[in-house]
Chain A
Amino acid sequence: MNSIRLRPLSRLFLALFLTVATIGESLAQAVGAAPAVSKEGVAPGATAAATPATAAAPAAGGGDAAAIAAGDALFKGNCAQCHAVNEVVVGPALAGISKRRPMSWIIPWVKNSSKMVASGDEYSVKIFNQYSKQQMPSFQLSDQEITSIVAWVTSQEGKATGPNDNAAGTGIKPGEQGPAGGADTAEAGAGKYMNVLLIVLVVVLIVLVVTLVIIANIMKDVLRGRKDLDGRDREVLEQRFDFSKIYKSTAVRAIVGVVFVLAVLYESIQGAMGVGLTQGYQPTQPIAFSHKLHAGEHQINCAYCHTSVYKSRSANIPSANICMNCHSQIKTESPEIKKIYRAIERKQPIQWVRIHNLPDLAYFNHAQHTQVGGIECQTCHGPIQNMDVVYQYSPLTMGWCINCHRETPLNTKGNGYYDNLVKLHDKSNGAVPFTVSSNGGTECSKCHY
């Protein structure tokens, strides 16, 4: 992963070793293409639509279909960790809930189940005891939101089960990945096609060379057999390749020297630019937590664990009690999960290794980018739902930040803050997109204070 600025230099360097470079580049592309290709069809749990603020809007105004859609997002954001429609996970399967219990029971239960249990409600106590006295957390949802969740559950009854049953419906379509993602995919496709061509070409060339050598040798043998050759011809026939001549040639020496110097220079600049860069940093964590399992296969919303990502500057690392919401029931025998139990028993917090480190002089706010900007987690953190062990996907350099601020149009839709600004911008600039930087997003004190 070369720094963007060094591309021209590397091209120059590679141009000098044309053949080697072709093979090298094709290999590099093959490696680089792997994550890009696998972006397709990904169904990340974290979407801005799942936040209560946005989800509430359609639920309030729309009809049945809108309520079901809103319920879908709310269910994934709040309930899916412990409930499925047609099977028992941590809590009971929800299919038929609308027939089993009236809404007048469901709403207070969702809002505060422990109160219901404490009040001695017969059914509440029964279900509490049935699921090994595991308390359902309280949810700050409105009555309407709860109703829409139930509507969605009802609509899903009897459908196929399995963790990925809704992946296709909710996942991000390939086209939605933004210009950068799309370009990567296209490039990767072309690269793959080129590889095959090149390999065929190389094979053909090798066969050609070998054939020619064989032919030459045969012809030489034939000539040696002839007795009517004069001295000059014999000389040509017996000519030997003199390596010392190449070695002594100033031109060759000069080229080798220049290439050597360039290579050293390139490596040192590369090294110098990489100081403090930790892209690809993938430390071993004290607990082998897999995002692939949780965010990828089980579709758990990012904000379920990283609770403050939509409201605070920091997307907090979940506290152990959040793990316990599920893992007091699930996989309790796993040695990795036992580490969490031990931490809680000993009252020693888990010391995760921090992967994404910004220098103290830079201020970054998650809420600004997620809640306001509507940026996907994956845009900066990469295909987190495919990572067993998380690594730093983006370089997190200032150039990388600024570049994005220059290119990305502001997410102004429906946000009263920007209404007048958009008008002013359109009046003076017309077709030019209203990017972050055209709203002052590349000024120093936006990030440094």
Chain B
Amino acid sequence: MQESPKYWKGIEELENSPEFVKNALTEFADFLPVKESNGSTDAAVAPRRDFLKLMGFGIAAATLASCETPIRKAIPYLNKPEEVDPGIANFYASTFFNGQDYNSILVKTREGRPIKFEGNPESPVTRGGLSARAQAAVLSLYDGGRLQHFAKKGAKIDKDQLDQEVRNALAGAGRIAVVSPTIISPSTKKVIGEFAGRFAGTEHVMYDVDSASGLLRANGGVVPAYDFSKADVIVSFGADFLGTWLSPVEYARQYITNRKVSKEKQTMSRHFQFESNMSLTGSNADVRVPLKPSEMGEAVLAVYNTVVGGGSASSYNNKLLQTAAAELKRAGARGLVVSGSNDPAVQTLVAAINQALGSAAVDVANPSYIRQGDDARMSRLLRDISNGQIGAVIFYNANPVFDHPMGADLAAALKSGKVRTTISLNDRLDETGELCTYAAPDHHFLESWNDYEPKRGFLSLAQPVITPLFATRQAQDSLLTWAGNPTTYYNYLRNQWKAVLGGDFNKAWDKAVHDGVATGTATPAPIAQTAAAMDVNGAISAIKSAPKPSGIELAIYEKVAIGNGSNLLANNPWLQELPDPVTKATWGNYVTVPRAYAADQKWEQGDVVKVSVNGKSVELPVLIQPGQAAGTIGIALGYGRTKAGKVGNELGQNVLPLVAMRNDAIIYSNAVQITPTEAKSPIAQTQTHHTIMDRKQVVQEATLKQYVENPKEVTEYEKISTPEGLAKPNKVSLWQDYEYKNHHWGMAIDLNSCIGCGSCVIGCQAENNVAVVGKQEVINRREMHWLRIDRYYSSAAHKSDFEAKGKLDTYAAMEDPSENPQVIFQPMLCQHCNHAPCETVCPVLATTHSSEGLNQMTYNRCVGTRYCANNCPYKVRRFNWFSYYTNEKFETVNGHMFTDLGRMVLNPDVTVRARGVMEKCSFCVQRIQLGKLEAKKQKRRPQDGEVVSACAQSCPTQAIVFGDMRDPNSRISQILRREDGERAFHVLDSINTQPNITYLTKIRNTESSEFNA
């Protein structure tokens, strides 16, 4: 029998605060925002005279405006490129790598303008998946914050003059440093090498904001390649490998391969997560144990002792850790331990455990190149700069003034002229670029040629898909020019690849450019780490001697959307407004605190606290986070930009100065003091905005044991009472059923595969021209996302515990469950109900049902009564409260709908909705129509997989399957047949809306009693 845990969406709902109750009862925040800016009293909101005046003026204006149709021009090409046809999209393979995560992409262009990214299915690394960050990167091409010309001290300068001056300055500079984040482009490295050959004394220093120095040191200077699909037991110590750690898209796909269950495959991996903050990975774990950052070393040591043995006794004791260690040992080669710690001692032990297990999931021989930054080298360089020992420094997509813990020292050194020549190749005058003398802005990656090798043996290419928008120059070309090499980088790259590709080079090159990926390797041996590797005994003694603070510990983490806060991400409104998967907060960072601690201190959500270490401090609002380890707080890095651009500036605060440095290694945690302040600062969360009528039938889950025992029992189906007894809800209906002759579009969402990463949300936003509304409007509950991911926390206390624990104790446990709850994610979008409640209440028939099962929304017919949204049980309809494309209130956050530059990113096949109309998920009807048309043109039926909605397309774990339910051979039909009566269920089945979206019950590989740590 399925257990029925209680689900709640957030702390507000659990506590049933008056605010929450008020919001839960009303669909919309306020009434019409008339005269919102004037602050008038209620009586004066719309007086009769004003109304008459407005009406009179309105009629007159409408009459005048309609008198003359404006003359529109049609301007064809002078010389049409052969492959461009107006109205037909072209796809070009390319690569997204921002120094953080790697994605092989296909760029969709219309009339020569990139408008959307899709995952490249040819890539053996990301296999068609795409992260939210990569999805949103298309917007950064049209970012008005980019520097649009070469500059000297901020003023425009001629390119040739800059080249001349830079060459002269570099010639007598002495020591030169090229500072960059991790570079995985073999050819770019070669260019830098050539530059270093021309100017003796040049040093290339790579550093990472989310450094993996410790991991590199423990594995001989490389990051091992992981394959989570080969692991049956995964133990992660703070590694958020599904959200932010190293290569999340790649890992998510591997991870989920071994998590999907069906009749044929009734096994799944077991995943233990030990972490301080509630991460995306932690919320997907079967067993999650909160622990302090300072306990991490001891915890790993305890596992080491069980699996390998021989270490000194660990001071950390936890039953679940023992279980994890025992299971790991039993799994042997099918076990895997990973850690997100940057402490080389911890990583050395982790490597030793994996080696002892003989883990098949770890490959050090063919490593990943995705992190190469060396903390020690970077720290030494920054000290040298402060001491005036460096003659010239070149920042290549690097912004250490902002994103290095010693950034303040660097800023002071640059300001006081400790470095004679400073050059920025960054794409804008960011915190670092602004302090440099010369700026030679780099192209956007969509304007550039480049190559990448994320993993040994796996190459990929980037090709320009648009003529450079601004007077910029590719950084590699700048370096080549200064080094006196007249070849262009394109030719340079091709020459490099001649050694890689065998056979007929031109043919092989064309194929590589077309596919975007190739096999082969071009990366020379990686640069060795400055600090020597540790042995296990040294690591154990380092762990034993590490400080064990007794107070509150700060654990610094990355958010899934903003990541390291680099230029490409920080000034991107789509990412800023993407709710964090767990906290559901947008626009800025905050302090996550455990609930008990907040109750102790009498803090409420939004109270601003001051977090300080050694005189450095940040002031941020409090967010109460279930699952946050006791004695810890969490703050996300990547915020507090001041020179990112209009969107990214002044959001949150920079937490990086608060990290601990241990032997020049960055440790992303520290002991801190917290003091309350008087201030309050609301956090723009989306989580409790759209409540659902009844929790019971919304999300369903079961354990693997139950599933194996009887798959028919894992899902609970609601029955209704009829005169003939209990029956399925669709037995009694007011409405006629539809007959679908042609297509019947439907979607299946596997809750077991959904990790909640948010890639689909951005994919939908890019595809459907969804407006960004900004922080205040999110607070007002007016966000516009058509697809949201609901996150439910659940309690582990059940009525089945009555006998063991006694009724009173069990009830007490059920009342106070949020210390470490289970989490379940559920993508929620228009369910395209066959008996849609919205359709029956529209007075103007603006929302109707199509003969293919779609719930159609006709904007030009909508008069904005909002009855439909009120009547929608799923709360998926969005109302346009403003003209987001003309109202200057939204000029900053929704800039891409304002300027001619920004509008190039809009999908020309989808209307930009006007004020006063309702909108919602259309099942990507434009894609359906296109797919059907292509089939009709070829005189055949569409094949399964040709018509895919944007969300299904971008899902890295293939949790969303879209297709024609009338086609018996389609994937969706097969899933529905297979899962009927087992895991397939409809949300709120009992109200007989008969949705076309089917969810599949989540299966956890856990015993519920194990969960309470």
Instruction: Determine the distance from Cα of A348 to Cα of B935 in the docked complex, in whole angstroms.
Output: 38
Q: Which of B88, B741, B856, B861 contacts A443 (CB 8 A)?
A: B856
Q: Is the CB of A349 within 8 A of B933?
A: no
Instruction: Determine the distance from Cα of A318 to Cα of B74 in the docked complex, in whole angstroms.
Output: 10
Q: Which of A276, A321, A365, A440 contacts B933 (CB 8 A)?
A: A365
Q: Is the CB of A440 within 8 A of B860?
A: no
Q: Given A320-B78, A354-B74, A440-B852, verify A361-B859 contact (CB < 8 Å).
A: yes
B319 CB–A CB distance under 8 Å? no
Question: How many residues on B have C-beta within 8 angstroms of the other chain's C-beta atoms?
Answer: 46
Q: Which of B79, B87, B856, B910 contacts A314 (CB 8 A)?
A: B87
A363 CB–B CB distance under 8 Å? yes
**Which residues of the partner chain B approach A351 to less than 8 Å between Cβ atoms?**
73-75
B49 CB–A CB distance under 8 Å? no
**Which residues of the partner chain B approach A363 to less than 8 Å between Cβ atoms?**
909, 926, 929
**Which residues of the partner chain A approach B911 to less than 8 Å between Cβ atoms?**
360-361, 448-449
Q: How far is the CB of B71 from chain A (nearest CB, A)?
A: 6
Q: Is the CB of B85 within 8 A of A353?
A: no
A60 CB–B CB distance under 8 Å? no
Q: Is the CB of A446 within 8 A of B929?
A: yes
B602 CB–A CB distance under 8 Å? no
Q: Is the CB of A308 within 8 A of B86?
A: yes
Q: Which of A283, A415, A421 contacts B742 (CB 8 A)?
A: A421
Q: How far is the CB of A392 from chain B (nearest CB, A)?
A: 11
Q: Which of A317, A322, A347, A448 contacts B860 (CB 8 A)?
A: A448
Which residues, 836 to 874 on B, are CB-close (under 8 Å) to A?
A: 848, 850-852, 854, 856-861
In this complex, what residue of B is CB-closest to A424?
B741
Which residues, 63 to 96 on B, are CB-close (under 8 Å) to A?
A: 66, 69, 71-80, 85-88
Which residues, 419 to 448 on A, are CB-close (under 8 Å) to B?
A: 421, 424-425, 439-440, 443-446, 448
**Which residues of the partner chain A approach B860 to less than 8 Å between Cβ atoms?**
359, 361, 448
A368 CB–B CB distance under 8 Å? yes
The stretch among B581-589, B892-900, B937-945 that forms the contact with chain A is: B937-945
Q: Is the CB of A349 within 8 A of B87?
A: no
**Which residues of the partner chain B approach A314 to less than 8 Å between Cβ atoms?**
86-87
B922 CB–A CB distance under 8 Å? yes
Q: Is the CB of A416 within 8 A of B939?
A: yes
Which residues, 337 to 365 on A, are CB-close (under 8 Å) to B?
A: 343-344, 347-354, 357, 359-361, 363, 365
Q: Is the CB of B78 within 8 A of A445?
A: no
Q: Given A371-B937, A444-B848, verify A449-B922 contact (CB < 8 Å).
A: yes
Q: Given A275-B66, A361-B859, verify A349-B78 contact (CB < 8 Å).
A: yes
Q: Is the CB of A367 within 8 A of B72?
A: no
A319 CB–B CB distance under 8 Å? yes
**Which residues of the partner chain A approach B926 to less than 8 Å between Cβ atoms?**
363, 449
Q: Is the CB of B933 within 8 A of A350?
A: no
Q: Is the CB of A445 within 8 A of B941?
A: no
Q: Is the CB of B850 within 8 A of A445?
A: yes
Q: Which of B76, B909, B936 contacts A417 (CB 8 A)?
A: B936
A89 CB–B CB distance under 8 Å? no
Question: How many residues on A have C-beta within 8 angstroms of the other chain's C-beta atoms?
Answer: 53
Q: Is the CB of B941 within 8 A of A417?
A: yes
**Which residues of the partner chain A approach B942 to less than 8 Å between Cβ atoms?**
417
**Which residues of the partner chain A approach B73 to less than 8 Å between Cβ atoms?**
351-354
Which residues, 275 to 319 on A, are CB-close (under 8 Å) to B?
A: 275-276, 278, 281, 283, 307-308, 311-314, 316-319
Q: Is the CB of B69 within 8 A of A276?
A: yes
In this complex, what residue of B is CB-closest to A322?
B80
**Which residues of the partner chain A approach B929 to less than 8 Å between Cβ atoms?**
363, 365, 446, 449
Q: Is the CB of B74 within 8 A of A443?
A: no
**Which residues of the partner chain A approach B331 to less than 8 Å between Cβ atoms?**
none
Q: Which of A344, A354, A365, A368 contacts B78 (CB 8 A)?
A: A344
In this complex, what residue of A is CB-closest to B848?
A444
Q: Which of B78, B859, B941 contacts A321 (CB 8 A)?
A: B78
Instruction: Determine the distance from Cα of A321 to Cα of B942 in the docked complex, in whole angstroms.
Output: 36
A414 CB–B CB distance under 8 Å? yes
**Which residues of the partner chain A approach B660 to less than 8 Å between Cβ atoms?**
none
Q: Is the CB of A440 within 8 A of B742?
A: yes
**Which residues of the partner chain B approach A371 to less than 8 Å between Cβ atoms?**
937
Q: Is the CB of A368 within 8 A of B936?
A: yes
Q: Is the CB of B940 within 8 A of A319?
A: no
**Which residues of the partner chain B approach A36 to less than 8 Å between Cβ atoms?**
none
The dominant DSSP class at the A interface is loop
A372 CB–B CB distance under 8 Å? yes
- Which of A283, A317, A350, A361 gathers the greatest number of chain B CB atoms within 10 Å? A361
Q: Is the CB of B859 within 8 A of A318?
A: no
Q: Which of B87, B925, B941 contacts A313 (CB 8 A)?
A: B87
Which residues, 39 to 79 on B, are CB-close (under 8 Å) to A?
A: 66, 69, 71-79
Q: Given A316-B85, A445-B854, A449-B925, verify A414-B939 contact (CB < 8 Å).
A: yes
Q: Which of B76, B742, B932, B937 contacts A317 (CB 8 A)?
A: B76
**Which residues of the partner chain B approach A316 to less than 8 Å between Cβ atoms?**
76, 80, 85-87
Q: How far is the CB of A384 from chain B (nearest CB, A)?
A: 16
In this complex, what residue of B is CB-closest to A417?
B936
Q: Given A319-B78, A349-B75, A448-B860, verify A307-B933 contact (CB < 8 Å).
A: no
In this complex, what residue of A is CB-closest to B909?
A363
**Which residues of the partner chain B approach A348 to less than 8 Å between Cβ atoms?**
78
Q: Given A308-B86, A417-B936, A440-B850, verify A349-B66 contact (CB < 8 Å).
A: no
Q: Given A343-B78, A444-B856, verify A353-B72 contact (CB < 8 Å).
A: yes
Instruction: Determine the distance from Cα of A351 to Cα of B76 in the docked complex, in whole angstroms.
Output: 8
Q: Is the CB of B77 within 8 A of A319?
A: yes
**Which residues of the partner chain A approach B742 to less than 8 Å between Cβ atoms?**
421, 439-440
**Which residues of the partner chain B approach A307 to less than 8 Å between Cβ atoms?**
80, 85
Instruction: Determine the distance from Cα of A314 to Cα of B77 in the docked complex, in whole angstroms.
Output: 14
Q: Given A417-B940, A448-B859, verify A350-B910 contact (CB < 8 Å).
A: no
**Which residues of the partner chain B approach A354 to less than 8 Å between Cβ atoms?**
71-74
Q: Given A276-B66, A416-B940, verify A353-B925 contact (CB < 8 Å).
A: no
Q: Which of A357, A360, A444 contacts B861 (CB 8 A)?
A: A444
Q: How far is the CB of A210 from chain B (nearest CB, A)?
A: 48
**Which residues of the partner chain B approach A414 to less than 8 Å between Cβ atoms?**
939
Q: Is the CB of A317 within 8 A of B74?
A: yes
**Which residues of the partner chain A approach B935 to less than 8 Å between Cβ atoms?**
417
Q: How far is the CB of A449 from chain B (nearest CB, A)?
A: 5
Q: Is the CB of B85 within 8 A of A312?
A: yes
In this complex, what residue of A is CB-closest to B928?
A445
Q: Is the CB of A367 within 8 A of B933?
A: yes
Q: Which of A320, A361, A421, A443 contacts B848 (CB 8 A)?
A: A443
In this complex, what residue of B is CB-closest to A411?
B936
In this complex, what residue of B is CB-closest to A343?
B78
Q: How far is the CB of A399 from chain B (nearest CB, A)?
A: 14
Instruction: Determine the distance from Cα of A318 to Cα of B76 in the docked complex, in whole angstroms.
Output: 6
Q: How far is the CB of B909 from chain A (nearest CB, A)?
A: 7
Instruction: Determine the distance from Cα of A352 to Cα of B76 in the docked complex, in whole angstroms.
Output: 8
Q: Is the CB of A278 within 8 A of B69?
A: yes
Q: Given A278-B69, A367-B933, A444-B861, verify A319-B851 contact (CB < 8 Å).
A: no
10 A-B pairs with least C-beta separation: A312-B87, A440-B851, A445-B856, A319-B80, A319-B77, A313-B87, A444-B858, A314-B87, A354-B74, A317-B76
- Given A443-B851, A448-B856, A448-B861, 19 other A-B contacts at CB below 8 A? A308-B85, A311-B937, A316-B86, A319-B76, A319-B80, A349-B78, A352-B73, A354-B73, A359-B860, A361-B859, A363-B929, A368-B933, A414-B939, A415-B939, A417-B936, A417-B940, A443-B850, A445-B858, A449-B925
List the interface of chain A (C-beta within 8 A of B). 275-276, 278, 281, 283, 307-308, 311-314, 316-322, 343-344, 347-354, 357, 359-361, 363, 365, 367-368, 371-372, 414-417, 421, 424-425, 439-440, 443-446, 448-449
In the complex, 26 of the A-B residue pairs with CB atoms within 8 angstroms, ordered by the A residue number, are A276-B66, A276-B69, A278-B69, A308-B86, A308-B88, A311-B937, A312-B85, A312-B88, A316-B80, A317-B76, A320-B77, A344-B78, A349-B75, A350-B76, A352-B75, A354-B71, A359-B860, A361-B859, A361-B911, A365-B933, A417-B935, A417-B940, A440-B851, A443-B856, A445-B856, A448-B859
